[in-house]
Amino acid sequence: MNWESWQAFWAMGGYGLYVWGSFGMTALCVVAEVWLVRRRRVQVWQKLRRMQAWDAQ
């Protein structure tokens, strides 16, 4: 085990800002990308359904 306490874990031996800045930004990018892909899916789905309803009329 590398860490004696949670505090030591978050401090990262003084490199906390850099390590968590990197991992944080990565997590943010992944979450944002997944969210964007899903939102796009929903938007396209709604748009196509509207268009189809329009065509049917």
Partner 1 sequence: MNLYRYASPATFHPLAGRLVPWFAGLAAVLAAVGLYIGFFVAPTDFQQGEGYRIIFIHVPAAWMSMFIYVVMAFWSAIGLAFNTRLSFILARALAPTGAMFTFVALWTGAFWGKPMWGAWWVWDARLTSELILLFLYVGVMALQAAIDDPRRADRAGALLNLVGVINVPIIYFSVKWWNTLHQGASVSLTRAPSMAETMLWGMLVMALAAWMYTIAVALARARTLVLERERRTDWARALLEGKA
Which chain residues interact with partner 1 by CB under 8 A?
1-3, 9, 12-15, 18-19, 21-23, 25-26, 29-30, 33-34, 37-38, 40-41, 44-45, 48-49, 51-52
Q: How far apart are CA 2 and CA 9, in angstroms?
A: 8
Token reading at 1 = 């085990």
Handedness of CA 52, 54, 55, 57 (dihedral sign): positive
Residue 22: CB minimum distance to partner 1, A = 4
Token reading at 46 = 């709604």
Closest CB to partner 1 among residues 14, 57: 14
Residue 5: CB minimum distance to partner 1, A = 14
